[in-house]
Chains A and B, each alone.
Chain A
Amino acid sequence: MLRAWRIALVFALLAIATAVAAQAIDPLPFRDHAEELRFQHLTSELRCLVCQDENLADSNADFARDLRHKVFELMQQGKSDAEIKQYLVDRYSEFVLYDPPVNAGTWLLWFGPLLILLAGGVAVGYTIRKRSRAGTPATPTDTGDDW
């Protein structure tokens, strides 16, 4: 019982910490909550270029703040999410997007894991067929490999 309470407490503290972190960075004059959510979502999909393993929404870097303000400014001008992303891609290349678009340079990144999975499937299928043809029982027998 005590253990369950402790776990609950840890989760509650974590939730508070993340909520605080999400708001601590800089207060911008949003018109309403929907606009703020849109801003949070958009900046979470953009990379902070000076701290490359962080997104714009979470980064406390000075430069990330400048880019967030730029995103906010473009939102105020009525630009769509796609237009804002294009604005940044035009200046900072596709690297600024956390979700890379599918194109000639990124297809291996997108479909590489699928290819490896297929290759593994083919290898497994091949082995099973070879064994069943040789009349080996389905349960593995000692092949002499102890590892």
Chain B
Amino acid sequence: MSRLLPLLGFVLLATLLGFGIWWNSAHDPTAVPSPLINKPAPAYALPKLDDPAQTVTKEAMLGKPYLVNVFASWCFACGEEHPVLMAETQGLGIPVVGYDYKDDPNDAKAWLAKHGNPYSLVIADESGHTAIDFGVYGAPETFLIDGKGVIRYKRIGPLTPDVIAQQLKPAIAALQKEAP
């Protein structure tokens, strides 16, 4: 028995290592859970990208659910996400607000002109200060905000057709069911 102990110890360690590898490949180790889910979205007042004189506020957006998609022209993963948005936003049934994060407005406009604009509205957060209130730490990130201004779902990283079908659309359907 005592001869088998080291082997047993090795098997235990190997199992632990295997579990660690499996865990890290099954989960995104860089994903930080948002504590803002089911909490009111922070108050914001941000200029429109194409008309900075106009400001969009949280209050003005109350009443119906909408999606906020954080993107930037400098963000590589946003380029990967973009064709998915172009194809899918029409089918979501709610407005999608583009949130241009820490970006030069001219770069963002050129980027949207080149790749297409899937957003019903684009707001610009050039300094990134409001994004801190939203708990944004990268792009792309996507928030689903309900008619009462509460964050109901958050996606960190690009939206993919699978994520939209399996997570986002059910979340939107649940919102529309509870709405009067």
- A residues contacting B by CB (< 8 A) are 49-50, 52, 62-63, 66-67, 70, 89-93, 95-96, 143, 145, 147
Contact = CB atoms under 8 A, between A and B. Distances in A.
Interface in B10-36: 29-30, 32-36
A63 B35 contact: no
B102 to A, nearest CB: 7
Interface footprint category on B: 20 to 34
A93 B137 contact: no
List the 5 closest pairs (A to B, CB-CB), nearest first: A91-B135, A49-B137, A93-B35, A95-B32, A66-B128
Q: Report whether over half of chain A's contact residues are helix, strand or loop; otherwise say mixed.
A: helix
Contacts of B133: 91
Contact of A145 (B2, B30, B35): B2
A90 B29 CA distance: 20
Nearest to B127: A66
A64 B52 CA distance: 27
A63 B101 CA distance: 11
B170 interface: no
B35 A49 contact: no
B115 interface: no
B113 interface: no
Nearest to B135: A91
B132 A91 contact: yes
Contacts of A49: 32, 137-138
Nearest to A48: B137
A64 to B, nearest CB: 10
B134 to A, nearest CB: 7
B129 A63 contact: no
B3 interface: yes
A50 B138 contact: yes
B138 A63 contact: yes
A90 B129 contact: no
Interface in B132-180: 132-135, 137-138
B33 A91 contact: no
A60 to B, nearest CB: 15
19 contacts: A49-B32, A50-B138, A66-B128, A67-B132, A90-B35, A90-B36, A91-B36, A91-B132, A91-B133, A92-B35, A92-B135, A92-B137, A93-B32, A93-B34, A95-B32, A95-B33, A96-B32, A143-B2, A147-B6
A93 B35 CA distance: 5
A103 to B, nearest CB: 13
